[in-house]
Amino acid sequence: MNKIPAHRKGLIYISFTAFLWSTSGFFIKYLTISAYQISFYRSLVAAITIYVISSVRKQKLKFTFDKVSNLATIFYAGILILFVLATKMTTAANAIFLQFTAPIYLVVMEPLVLKTKFEPKDIITIFICIGGMILFFFGKLEIGNIYGNLLAIASGFCFAMFSLLLKYKRVKQGSENTLNNSVMGNALVAIIAFFIVFPSFTLSLPEALILLYMGAVQIGVSYIIFNEGIKYVSATESMIIATLEAMFNPIWVFIGIGEAPSVYSIIGGVIIFGAIIWRNFSKRDKTLILE
C-alpha cells in the first residue's frame, strides 16, 4: 500500500470499508436473535477491537467528557442501535436508504451551527429528498414496516448529528480524534442493550461467530480503515463511495434470504442519492456528511 498514491489509497480504503459495512443487513436479517442481543454483542466486540488495535498501533485514545463529546457518543450509539432495530422491522433496503438521508438534515443544521452559507440549491435538495422519502411509505405497509422506516429515519438523523458534532470539534476545538467517539458509542450501546437483554445471553456457535465478525470486522476494523481513508480523499468523494454500502446491502440480503425491496423504495432511493450527489458535486465548498 505504501507504493500506491495517497489519493488512490484513500479511495481503496473507503471502498473496502463500504463493502464491509454493506454486509450488516444480511447478518441482521439472518440472525434469529433480537435486535438488542445483536447490538449488545456487536458493539461490545467492536469497542474492544478498536481499543486494542489502537493501543497496539500506539494511537493514544484521549477520552473527553465535555458536552460536545458526550452528545457525539450518544448520537453514534443511536446510529448503531436504531439501524439494527430498523433492519429487523422493515426491509434492509428501506433501512439503509433512509439512514442515508442524513445529508438532508445537515443541509439545514450546518449553517445554523457552523455558520456556513445556506444556498437556494439546498432548499431544492431538501424538497427533492423529502419527496423520495415519502415514496418509502407508499404501497402495502404493515405497522412494523412503518415503525421500521421511522426508526431508519431517526438513525439517519443521528448520523447527521454525529457528523456535525465531529466537524464542530474539528473546526472549533481543533480535535482530529474520532476513534474515541466510536469506542465510547459502542460501549454505550453495549451497556444499554445489556440491561434489556439480561439474562438472555446464550448463543449458538454459528451465532457467536457471526457476531464476532460483525463486531470485530464489520464495525471495528472497518471504522479504523475508514478513519485512515478519509485523510486522503475529499468529503464528497468519501460520501459518494460510502453509498456503495446502500447499494450492496440490499443485494446481499436478496441473495441470502430473498428479500426484495419494493419498486417505490428503489425509486425513492434513486431520488435521494441523485439529489445528494447533485447538490454536492455542484458545490465548490465540499463540506458533507463524512467530513
How buried is 100 (Cβ within 10 angstroms: 0-12 exposed, 13-18 middle, 19+ buried)? buried
pLDDT at 289 over 60: no
pLDDT over 90 for what percent of the chain? 32
Which region, left, alpha or beta, applies to residue 288 given φ > 0 means left and ψ of -120 to 50 means alpha?
beta
Local confidence band at 288 (pLDDT 50, 70, 90 cut-offs) = very low
Q: Enumerate the domain spans of the chain.
A: 6-281
Q: State the Cα–Cα distance between residues 260 and 253, nearest whole angstrom.
A: 8
Share of the chain above pLDDT 70, in %: 87
265-282: pLDDT as tens digits: 788 878 877 877 776 666
Task: Compute the chain's Rg from CA coordinates.
Answer: 18
Q: What is the pLDDT of residue 118?
A: 66
Q: What is the DSSP letter of 285?
A: S
Query: What pLDDT is recorded for position 285?
Result: 43
pLDDT band at 284 (very low <50, low <70, confident <90, very high): very low
Q: Which residues contact 32 (CB under 8 A, 6 or more apart)?
A: none
Rounded alpha-carbon distances, angstroms, from residue 60 to 52, 123, 208, 274: 11, 41, 30, 39
What average pLDDT does the segment 81-92 reach?
A: 92
Q: What is the pLDDT of residues 102-133, one digit of tens each?
A: 777 877 787 777 777 766 777 787 778 778 87
Cα(67)–Cα(62) distance, integer angstroms: 15
Q: Given this model, what pLDDT does residue 176 score? A: 64
How sure is the predictor about 205, in pLDDT bands with cuts at 50, 70 and 90? very high
Provide the grid cell at 55.
493501543
Helix, strand counts (H, E) of the chain:
13, 0
pTM above 0.85, yes or no: no
| Maximum distance among all Cα pairs of the chain, rounded to whole angstroms | 54
pLDDT band at 291 (very low <50, low <70, confident <90, very high): very low
Among 52-66, 67-81, 160-174, 187-201, which is the least confidently predicted range? 160-174
The residue to which cell 463524512 is assigned: 290
Say yes or no to pLDDT of 93 above 90.
no
CB 38 within 8 A of CB 31: yes
Handedness of CA 263, 265, 268, 269 (dihedral sign): negative
pLDDT greater at residue 64 or residue 71: 71
Is the previous residue joined to 103 through a cis bond, with omega within 30 degrees of 0?
no
For the chain, what is the mean pLDDT? 82
Q: Rounded CA gap, 44 and 191, in Å?
A: 8
Instruction: Let me know if 268 is exposed, middle or buried by CB neighbors in 10 A (0-12, 13-18, 19+).
Output: buried
Mean pLDDT for 196-209 is 90
Distance from C-alpha of 234 to C-alpha of 222, rounded to nearest angstrom: 18
Amino acid 235: pLDDT = 58
- Dig out the grid coordinates for 78 from the structure: 443511536
Give yes or no for residue 287 having a pLDDT over 50: no
pLDDT digits (tens, 9 = 90+) for 167-181: 787 777 666 667 888
**Which residue did the predictor score with more confidence, 104 or 56?**
56
| pLDDT band at residue 139 using 50, 70 and 90 as cut-offs | low
